[in-house]
Amino acid sequence: MRLLFILWVAVMRADFINPFLHAMVNVLRTMCDLQPQVGKSILKEDNIARGVVTGFIDLMGEKTSGSMAISFTEPVAIDLVERMLGERPTKINATVEDLIGEITNMVSGGAKKILSEEGYNFYLSQPVTFVGEGHKILHSVYGPKILIPFHVESGDFVVEVCFRD
């Protein structure tokens, strides 16, 4: 039964995962002059964030609903602030949190545009950020959580996508 579930996730959810992958790459290329490397997507089995600062947003639609989280390690988050704002904070602060929220908004907006072309329309909530080692990410819907790992010059981060079964 678990194998069938995994196969369903792989086939059915690729249409929902790829827009977030493409939007994340586009945001980093255009806003940060970065060429991210994308790892292999995996099914996430826990609620623990893979970074110390996470941007989170809900996507609510008629056909389905879901949520997305982007978790950054501290070096990556600080590097993004420096690249986008021209200042380098020494630690995670309000500026870093705001920028991570804005990146979350840009990525979800880009994915929303792609998904709308496929007939899926969503309303987006305001992004929120969470900070701290080992914080939890609780998606707003029950469904498979897909983790997409990324690598940039300053380190690693992940995008998590969860859509209702």
Residue-wise pLDDT tens digits, 107-163 = 999 999 998 888 888 889 999 999 999 999 998 888 889 999 999 999 999 999 988
CATH at 44: 3.40.1550.10
Instruction: Identify the domain containing residue 64 by its residue range.
Output: 2-163
Q: CA dist 47 to 26, 138, 152, Å? A: 27, 6, 24
pLDDT in tens, 8-30: 444 446 677 889 999 999 999 99
Which pTM does this prediction carry? 0.89
Distance CA 151, CA 65 (A): 28
Report the pLDDT value the prediction gives residue 13, as an integer from 0 to 100: 60
Count of domains forming the chain: 1
Question: d(Cα 42, Cα 147) in Å, to the nearest integer?
Answer: 5
In this structure, which amino acid lies at residue 97? E
Contacts of 25 (CB under 8 A, 6+ apart): 36, 38
DSSP 8-state symbol, 136: B
Contact by Cβ (8 Å): 83, 103:
no
Taken as a whole, the chain contains a residue count of: 165
C-alpha 101: how far from its chain's center?
11
146 vs 133: CA distance, rounded Å: 21
